Amino acid sequence: FFSAQSFQENELRNKSVVVIDVLRATSTIVTALMNGAKGVIPVEDMGEASRISQSVDSDNYLLCGEKDGTKIDGYDLGNSPLEYSRDTVEGKTLIFNTTNGTKAIKKSLGSATIYIASFLNLSSIVNALSVEKNEIVLLCAGWKGRLALEDMLLAGNIIHNLSGGSLSDMANDGAKVAFGLYEKYGNDISSVIFQSNHAQRLKQIVGTDDLEYCAQTDICNLLPVLHEGIISI
Ligand code: MLT
C-alpha cells in the first residue's frame, strides 16, 4: 500500500500497481470504457494534454479533465463520470488530465502492470489480483499529497478481499490502516464517501450526483489496464 507521494523512482519495478482515485478519476475512466470509449490516454498536465491533442485527428479524440475539480476551459469534457455517456464517448480515445488521478498513473510507469480500480469495477480488480504473480502495490491518488478517505476505503476493501478477512502481520502499516478502516466502515461505503474532504469540495462544485454514482459497487465487470500509454479493457 502506497500513497501517491510516498515512493521512490524504480521502487515499482516488477510490481503490479493498482491506481485508486475513487473521486473521481478512476471512476470516470472505468465509466468511459464501460460506455465504449476506445481508450484513455492519461497525461501529466495541461501542456502534455495540448501537445497530444494537437497531434491527433480531433474527430476521434476528446480532450477531457479538470483542475481542482472544475472542467478546464476549452476541454470537451470535465471529470464527472456522468458526462461520459455512450452517446458522447463511444469509439473515441480520451486524452485525460486530472489533478491527482492521472498524475498517480503516470508515476506508476515502469511498473510491471497498471490496473485502474474504483468501486464500480471492484470484483474484476479483486479477481485479477487474486491470481497476480507480482507483488501488488495499491496506489491511492489522494489529494495533492494528502490522504483521501474514499481511496483508503477502497484499498481496505481490496486488501480485505485478498486476505480472506485476516491480514498478515507482515503487511505494511498503510495496508493495516486501510484494512482497519474497511473493517469498521465497509458496510457503509456511501456515507464514508460523503464525509470525505474531497466530497465536501465536490459538493460545492457539482453537487452530490457524482458522489452517489462513484459509491456504487460492481456496476460493471471491467479490468482496465495501461498498455503503451493507453488505458483500455
Ligand atoms: C483528481 O484526479 O484529482 C480527481 O479526479 C479530481 C476530481 O474529482 O475531479
pLDDT tens digits, one per residue of 116-160 = 999 999 999 999 999 999 999 999 999 998 999 999 999 999 999
For residue 215 and ligand 1, the question of a CB distance below 6 A is answered with no
What are the grid coordinates assigned to 75, written together?
Answer: 476541454
What total number of domains does the chain contain? 1
Output the pLDDT for position 80.
98
- What is the pairing mode between strands 15-20 and 135-140? parallel
ipTM surpasses cut 0.90: yes
Mean pLDDT computed over 199-223: 97
Give me the chain's average pLDDT, please. Answer: 95
| pTM, to two decimals | 0.96
Q: pLDDT digits over 8-43, tens only?
A: 768 899 999 999 999 999 999 999 999 999 999 999
- Rounded to whole angstroms, the Cα distance separating 68 from 76 reads 17
- Rounded to whole angstroms, the Cα distance separating 113 from 98 reads 21
Domain with 161 in it: 2-232
Pocket test for ligand 1, best of 19, 20, 79 (most atoms within 8 A of CB): 79
Pocket test for ligand 1, best of 31, 43, 64, 66 (most atoms within 8 A of CB): 66
For residue 26 and ligand 1, the question of a CB distance below 6 A is answered with no
From the list 75, 88, 96, the residue with the least C-alpha distance to 24 is 96
From the list 27, 80, 81, the residue with the least C-alpha distance to 218 is 27
Residue nearest to atom 7 of ligand 1 (CA): 69
- Say yes or no to pLDDT of 3 above 80: no
- Say yes or no to pLDDT of 161 above 70: yes
Report the Cα–Cα distance between both ends of the chain, in Å, rounded: 24
- Say yes or no to pLDDT of 5 above 80: no
Cα of 23 from ligand 1 centre, angstroms: 6
Pocket test for ligand 1, best of 98, 105, 107 (most atoms within 8 A of CB): 98
Which CATH number goes with the domain that contains 129? 3.90.1560.10
- Say yes or no to pLDDT of 4 above 70: no
Q: pLDDT digits over 139-148, tens only?
A: 999 999 899 9
